[in-house]
Amino acid sequence: MAAKRSKRVKPALRSEQPAESVLGELLSLTVGLLLVVRMLVPTESAEDGSTLWIVQFWLAAGLLWAWNAFRERDDRIRWDRLDVAFWSIVLAHVVSAVAVLLNGGQKRAAINLTWEWVGLGVCFFLMRQTLRTGSAARRLVGIMVAVSVCLAALGLWQHYISFPETRAEYNQNKYNQEWLQEFGVPQEPAARAMFEERLKSSEPFGMFALANTFAGLLLVWFLVAVGTIASVWKRRPGWKELLAPTLAVGWVAFCLILTKSRTASVGLLAGLTVCGAFHLWRSDGKPMRWMAYMAVGSLAVLFMLAVAAISGGFDVAVITEAPKSLNYRLQFWSGTWNVLCDRPLLGTGPGNFRHLYLQHKLPASSEAIADPHNFVLDIWANGGILAVIGLFVFLFFVVRRLRLTPNKAANTTPISDTVAGRDIRQGICSPLTVGSSLAFVVVFAVSFLAGDGFDLRLPALLLGFCALLIFCGRISNSPAVSSVFLIAAVVGLMTHLVGAGGIEMPAVVQTLLVLVAAATVWNETGPVETASVAQRPRKTLVVGGLFGVLFVVCLLSATAPVLNRRALVAAADATVPGGADTAKAIHLYQQSAEADPFSPVPPRRLAELYFARWHALPGDTSREFQRAVGLQEMAIELDPHNPGNFYNLGLWYRERHRRTGKEENIKLAARALREAVARYPNNADFRADLALILDAAGNSHDAAIEAAAALKQDTINHRHGHRDKFLDSRTIEALQELASRSPVAPVRP
């Protein structure tokens, strides 16, 4: 009996790595959870602090790692030049943010995005510590592919069902003011026109806010999935084994086409070129096989393009308007270059690019962009020249680490059904996979607690995710997989980011870090390093202490203030539309200002509320107006580069002049409008209002000059089709009359 019992335990003793402790499994679960959470929340809103809770959990995971390593007396830390290079990018953002705090700017945005970069550094560090075998890396990549397939399914639902229903509902209720107010439809003509233009768009965006961001995600994991299936084909499996994964990959490709992202298409072509070139090079005298695979893939893409075109998801304009899109990019880059010439060393600071860009925005440019749409300029603007150097050093070490080499761990022998089934069960029950599944539940709970109601998309995505893990588990666990497609995905992503924003978005950077962390151990058949047992694990204690300090500082300086402010502002906003209890709204706004003294949002909302109260009262109640002005000036101090703050202040003074007739008010209005124009000189509305205000102040000469400038900008807007920026006919007539007094001939649109 004893001999029989010993035989039963021998297989467990032959596992490739020691069993993880409970804390180790909890750490793997947390890493998987947080990685997937990033893919399920809008990454574009990081500047506002809506995803700081994820950073806080990453820091908590760092403490968990330190505690587990201390208990195990494991003093090993995977740390090399790759990690140093990435942390140099993080530190560059910290330095640039400190400059914003000292010299002025939007301090809350700078603090929030800096902590996001710190969270990404901790994310990369923990992936490097927890991913120690090729099987763990392949499991993580398989999870990411499964999530992207689910999001692609969501994108198809958005394109064919959700968006058409929303358009139909809007067309039915476009004159129902109660419905428009309930759904947050803007009332201003220009903003309303932009809203209707976006409503006509059918490009899916998944759980993000922009289709281009979503396309970058799909691009990466599509390349990974294609490379995985191509590697498995070497074993010549049965069609049943490849059916589900192939359909899933086609699903992602079709959704990628529907996004109409030109930069993602170029990135996809670059990634496929890397894959094709490598496999032709390693084809061992059989290049025709891989050429046949590429031909079949090309036919499949053409078929999906035809289906998308027939169903209205793709049109010729995507191709014919590519030069126009490139011209827009050149305009963005030119304006950004002028911004960086003013601030070459430290850039604008994290989260401070948009308003500083407006000072240099070209007259013909279409958008007040939030980022330069180029990863080099974007990282330079937010982190300074040190961040650019750090990025290129990081990419250099990535290329050296991931250089194209044969996969020594590859095995083309068939895998028995018993072994494959065991691997699938182990993969599904692993802490990494369980944590990934819990991510859907966590985001669902956070969305509900934030007051967004029940997001029923998340339970559906969870069901699809679990089904994919079961049906595609054999593919993702295959040891025949080559790491070349990870390199192709990195190349594709960086090519996409040459003409698209995203390098400052946490989910995009995390995608790059997952690829790099997985590829560094992809071909390892066992733990990368042997355990280093130490009586006093000093390195672990030092790193754990650093994580503890970062956890507390992040909580006090960012997470707690931002969450409290957002909750209080939301509660105050809910009381304002009805106007039943303005005193309560004022109290809540004041509390939010105390909770987050760096945010310009509470004083701006308070100023608008006091001005609305003044405007609703008869006569001139100077007390209400002075409160509004004082609070608006406080918002200007907290966000000094925002031209909209000065513009609103100027309009308020103009309104008071109309009510009281006092000349000092029109002079103050002109002063505020000059500040707005100085920060956004190519805004036709700003210059038009400034011209009218200067004329009312008796400054006919300057009014004529500003009127001519406003008409010239309006002509440019008409020439380039910027409909949301057109001046109305009455304003144009008034400006033409003013401009006729200028020595420069007026420009007629």
The tens digit of pLDDT for each residue in 309-356 reads 777 777 777 777 888 888 889 999 999 999 999 999 999 999 999 999
Nearest one of 564, 566, 428, 507 to 34, comparing CA atoms: 507
pLDDT tens digits, one per residue of 664-673: 999 999 999 9
521 near 132, Cβ under 8 Å?
A: yes
- Check pLDDT > 50 for residue 11: no
- Report the pLDDT averaged over residues 69-74: 84
Q: What is the pLDDT of residue 523?
A: 74
- Check pLDDT > 70 for residue 527: no
Which pTM does this prediction carry?
0.90
The two structure tokens encoding residue 498: 């040459």
The two structure tokens encoding residue 392: 């290129």
CB-neighbour burial class of residue 313 (10 A; exposed 0-12, middle 13-18, buried 19+)? buried
Cβ-based neighbours of 700, under 8 Å, separated by 6 or more: 694, 738, 741
Give the C-alpha separation, 625 to 621, whole Å: 7
pLDDT tens digits, one per residue of 91-135: 999 999 999 999 989 999 999 999 999 999 999 999 999 988 888
Q: What is the pLDDT of residue 746?
A: 45
pLDDT tens digits, one per residue of 197-208: 777 778 899 999
127 near 514, Cβ under 8 Å?
A: yes
Q: What is the pLDDT of residue 343?
A: 93
Backbone angles phi, psi at 533, to 5 degrees: -85, 125
Nearest one of 680, 127, 98 to 354, comparing CA atoms: 680
The two structure tokens encoding residue 456: 């029923």
231 near 478, Cβ under 8 Å?
A: yes
- Check pLDDT > 60 for residue 283: no
Q: Is 561 left (phi over 0), alpha (psi -120 to 50) or beta?
A: alpha
- Check pLDDT > 50 for residue 152: yes
Query: Mean pLDDT of all residues in the chain?
Result: 84
Choice between 310 and 372, residue whose per-residue pLDDT is larger: 372
pLDDT tens digits, one per residue of 16-70: 444 567 888 999 999 999 999 999 999 988 999 999 999 999 999 999 999 998 8
Q: Give the DSSP H/E element, type plus range, for residue 383.
A: helix 375-401
Q: What is the pLDDT of residue 368?
A: 86
Choice between 18 and 449, residue whose per-residue pLDDT is larger: 449
Cβ-based neighbours of 475, under 8 Å, separated by 6 or more: 142, 228, 229, 232, 241, 242, 245
| Domains in the chain with CATH codes | 20-171+220-535 (no CATH), 574-739 (1.25.40.10)
Give the range among 469-473, 591-595, 687-691 with minimum mean pLDDT.
469-473
Give the range among 279-288, 331-340, 446-455, 622-631 with minimum mean pLDDT.
279-288
Taking each helix axis as running N to C, give the angle between helix 560-575 and helix 582-595, from 0 to 180 degrees, rounded to the nearest 10.
170
The two structure tokens encoding residue 556: 């006090």
Task: Kindly report each contact of residues 273-276 with a partner whose C-beta sits within 8 Å and lies 24 or more positions away, as own/partner.
Answer: 274/484, 274/487, 274/488, 274/491, 274/492, 275/223, 275/226, 275/227, 275/230, 275/484, 275/485, 275/488
Give the C-alpha separation, 33 to 496, whole Å: 27
Q: Is the dihedral of CA 173, 178, 182, 187 positive or negative?
A: positive
Give the range among 106-120, 413-427, 611-625 with minimum mean pLDDT.
413-427
The two structure tokens encoding residue 38: 């990033």
- Check pLDDT > 70 for residue 403: no
- Check pLDDT > 70 for residue 191: no
C-alpha to C-alpha distances, 102 to 51, 99, 107, 110, nearest whole angstrom: 25, 5, 9, 12
Q: Is 74 helix (H, G, I), strand (E, B) or coil?
A: strand
Give the C-alpha separation, 452 to 228, whole Å: 38
Give the C-alpha separation, 236 to 233, whole Å: 5
Nearest one of 601, 609, 604, 603 to 582, comparing CA atoms: 609
189 near 234, Cβ under 8 Å?
A: no
Give the C-alpha separation, 598 to 605, whole Å: 14
Q: What is the pLDDT of residue 95?
A: 97
655 near 615, Cβ under 8 Å?
A: yes
- Report the pLDDT averaged over residues 627-656: 95
Q: Is 15 left (phi over 0), alpha (psi -120 to 50) or beta?
A: beta
Give the C-alpha separation, 630 to 613, whole Å: 15
Cβ-based neighbours of 576, under 8 Å, separated by 6 or more: 582, 585, 609
**DSSP one-letter string for 460-491:** HHHHHHHHHHHHSHHHHT-TT--THHHHHHHH
End-to-end CA distance of the chain: 98
Choice between 51 and 455, residue whose per-residue pLDDT is larger: 51
707 near 677, Cβ under 8 Å?
A: no
| Tokens 């920026």 belong to residue | 725
**C-alpha dihedral over 373, 379, 383, 386, to 10 degrees?**
-150
Give the range among 91-100, 574-583, 672-681, 697-706 with minimum mean pLDDT.
574-583
Q: What is the pLDDT of residue 479?
A: 46
| Tokens 């962390």 belong to residue | 517
Choice between 164 and 245, residue whose per-residue pLDDT is larger: 164
- Check pLDDT > 50 for residue 15: no
Confidence of residue 415 (pLDDT cuts 50, 70, 90): very low
Q: What is the pLDDT of residue 530?
A: 46
Give the C-alpha separation, 726 to 683, whole Å: 10
Where does 597-742 show beta strands of DSSP type E?
none
Confidence of residue 2 (pLDDT cuts 50, 70, 90): very low
Nearest one of 102, 109, 100, 99 to 50, comparing CA atoms: 109
- Check pLDDT > 70 for residue 550: yes
639 near 649, Cβ under 8 Å?
A: no
Count, residues in the chain: 749
- Report the pLDDT averaged over residues 435-459: 90
Give the C-alpha separation, 480 to 241, whole Å: 15
Q: What is the pLDDT of residue 274?
A: 83
User: Among the ranges 467-481, 568-582, 703-717, which has the highest mean pLDDT value?
Assistant: 703-717
pLDDT over 70 for what percent of the chain?
82
Give the C-alpha separation, 97 to 384, whole Å: 10
Nearest one of 728, 746, 741 to 698, comparing CA atoms: 741
